[in-house]
A and B are shown apart, each in its own frame.
Chain A
Amino acid sequence: MPISIEQKEARLGWKLVAPSLGVIGLLIIYPILYNLYLSFFDIKLTGEKFFIGLANYEKLLEDTAFYGSVLTTIIFLIGTVVGSTVVGLFVALLMNLQFPFRNVARTIILLPYFAPVISVVFGWQFIFDPVNGIYNHIIVEVLHLTDQRHNLIGDPNTALLVVILFDIWKHFPISYLLIISKLQSINRDQYEAAAIDGCGPVVRFFHVTLPEIYFVLGTLVILRLIWNLNKFEEIFLLAPNVKTLPIFTYYAAFTGIIDQGFAATVSVVQFLVLSFLIYFYVKKVLRW
């Protein structure tokens, strides 16, 4: 049967997109389902699998380390998302003003984002090193805030703070970029009208700026939550004792007592949380 031009187009469409779909199906869709499947098994080092039903899940629910990890993750998420958004907003407002060499400044602030994690993470470790690091030097010798040098990274309690700070440093530029592109599209007239109406800079911020960037901020928060839930390198390389969910999963899967079935279970839980966030993002923010 002869095919119309439209049909030819449709066929070509499918042909061109098939390789990508194939790769995605094989390496993302299938693993997700396979992961779910694996979570019902006890996987030995030899590769043998024994079906144990929901035993992994029971184990998970009883595992205090797991709950600890969840708590750590939540603190991490809140700290980093709020932190990087606030810093990003501040920097965006700053960079929206005119001053000499502004373009240079704008390029410099993007550096933390583009630098590979591996390249900067040891620098950060050095800064907080109890022996050589400048942090301790300043806190103890210069400012005299405490009289003892602290190993912030070694101590699991403070390591989380360092990790949060590192993540904010690394990722505020992307918040900055998204916010400033919206900021620059706000018409000057709105500010001028507000100024004429007697509003000072703070009031102008709340009544003109904030409503305009509200949508961008919302998008940003959800996106950062989703991204940070998946973060691994930044945390693991800087302070592996901070056990957010991905790190927890990694330890379960590849170190110590290797239990890949259990790790799969944790991944399933993470996937559910992530799906919820994505669904929320797509429905509420993107309005699909």
Chain B
Amino acid sequence: MGKRSFLQNILLALAVGIVLFFCLFPFVQILSTSLKHQFDWGNPSLIPIKINLNAYRELLGLGKKDDVAIPDSIKRLLDNPLLTEEKKNEIISKYKSTSDVFPFPRYFLNTFLLSASAASISLILAVFGAYSFSRLRFKGRSTIQRSILFVYMVGGVMLMVPLYQMSVKAGLAKTVWGSLLSLLLIYIIQTLPVSLYMLGNYFRTIPYSLEEAAATDGCSRIQAIFIIILPLSIPMLITVFIYCFIIAWNEFLFASVFLKQFHDFHTLPLALQSLFVSKNAIWDRIMSASMLTLIPVIFCFMFVMRNLTGGLAEGGVKE
């Protein structure tokens, strides 16, 4: 106990350093490679010899369409005089204008809309459901509370077959909008139990006497939810929304199952994976795509961090 010796301080610094390195290295690697030209990729140093913004430009649709990184191996192929001009162009066009092949903004929008819708609907359902079993007294309430937890643990990978089959039966899997609808529903169901659980716990911390006061002041129960409970829950509502949003944003399995054939409607995880599979030598593009999907999440993360503490109901009630 007490002050640490110099040696202990060194060890501590070392340990913390190792942990931080362990956490951050992959991110730094991604950033670094996304900014490197091809000849630089094998270079173990994290700092690019020459900064390459082409990958970002292409993905965001900002750059010239001809600025394409054609792998060396293909370049050599193209130099072969036996290839006809036509064939050469064919090969080159595969690598050209990749903003058509990977329209990042489009995929971003797809994923964003899908995640936002799923998170919103999930949140609304969860607010009413959580209010119900945290505040209102009715028979069967505790059974419902317990089964929420069970359902949370079960929902997921194991449902891939039956949910797909159900969607096929309902005729949804064949059309784009049917598939999107199926996916939306699946994202809702993947996030609903957790939202219910988190909001239920939170609502229970709001003093009941506030609602009683509202009742004597002339509020019906529903009015009390909107006027009292929700304003006091804003940080939690945002946290739950972001949590659901991130789950939908990251999701791959069901997106792949339902949207594989509809290239234009791919979500980011799906698109990234296809990109990787189709052009597996273009690391800088893959890395920059990774970075671009990473950044919004980091923002949300920062926001949630700031809101994880704080009792909003302070002052209203005598402890």
Contact = CB atoms under 8 A, between A and B. Distances in A.
A237 B269 CA distance: 10
Nearest to B19: A91
For B132, B221, B272, B291, the residue with the greatest tally of chain A CB atoms inside 10 Å of its CB is B132
Contacts of B157: 230-232, 246, 249, 270
A212 interface: no
What bracket does the count of chain B residues touching chain A fall in?
Answer: 35 or more
B156 A230 contact: yes
A131 B42 CA distance: 7
Contacts of A134: 29, 44
A94 B16 contact: yes
Contacts of B294: 115-116, 119-120
A8 to B, nearest CB: 8
A34 B235 CA distance: 38
Interface in A131-151: 131-132, 134, 137-138
A218 interface: no
Given A111-B24, A134-B44, A260-B165, A32 B159 contact: yes
Contacts of B241: none
B161 A38 contact: yes
Interface stretch (B47-55, B84-92, B138-146): B138-146
Main secondary structure of the interface of B (DSSP, over half): helix
B162 A32 contact: yes
Interface in B124-153: 125-126, 128-129, 131-133, 136-139, 141, 144, 146, 148-151, 153
What bracket does the count of chain A residues touching chain B fall in?
Answer: 35 or more
Nearest to A234: B252
B42 to A, nearest CB: 5
B273 interface: yes
B250 interface: yes
Given A108-B24, A118-B273, A122-B276, A192 B305 contact: no
B82 interface: no
B253 interface: yes
A251 B27 CA distance: 30
A27 B269 contact: no
B80 to A, nearest CB: 23
Contacts of B163: 27, 31
Interface stretch (B61-69, B96-104, B184-192, B310-318): B184-192
A65 interface: no
B208 interface: no
A246 B252 CA distance: 13
Contacts of A15: 132
A9 interface: yes
Contacts of B131: 16
B7 interface: no
A117 B26 CA distance: 12
A211 interface: no
B289 to A, nearest CB: 8
Contacts of B23: 108-109, 111-112, 169
B56 to A, nearest CB: 15
A108 B22 CA distance: 11
Contacts of B155: 27-28
A164 B30 CA distance: 20
Interface in A261-275: 263-264, 267, 270-271, 274-275
Nearest to B147: A24
Nearest to A233: B252
A253 B157 CA distance: 12
Given A124-B26, A226-B153, A246-B157, A118 B272 contact: yes
Contact of A109 (B20, B141, B293): B20
A65 B243 CA distance: 36
A40 B305 CA distance: 48
A103 to B, nearest CB: 10
Contacts of A230: 156-158
A250 interface: yes
25 contacts: A10-B136, A10-B137, A10-B138, A14-B138, A23-B189, A27-B163, A27-B186, A31-B166, A91-B19, A94-B12, A105-B16, A108-B20, A108-B24, A109-B23, A116-B293, A118-B272, A119-B294, A126-B286, A126-B287, A132-B42, A137-B42, A237-B269, A267-B162, A271-B158, A282-B149
Given A9-B136, A118-B269, A275-B154, 10 more contacts: A10-B139, A17-B144, A24-B148, A27-B185, A118-B272, A119-B30, A126-B283, A250-B253, A263-B160, A278-B150
- List of 9 A-B pairs having minimum Cβ-Cβ separation, nearest first: A13-B136, A20-B129, A10-B138, A31-B162, A16-B132, A13-B138, A118-B269, A27-B189, A123-B30
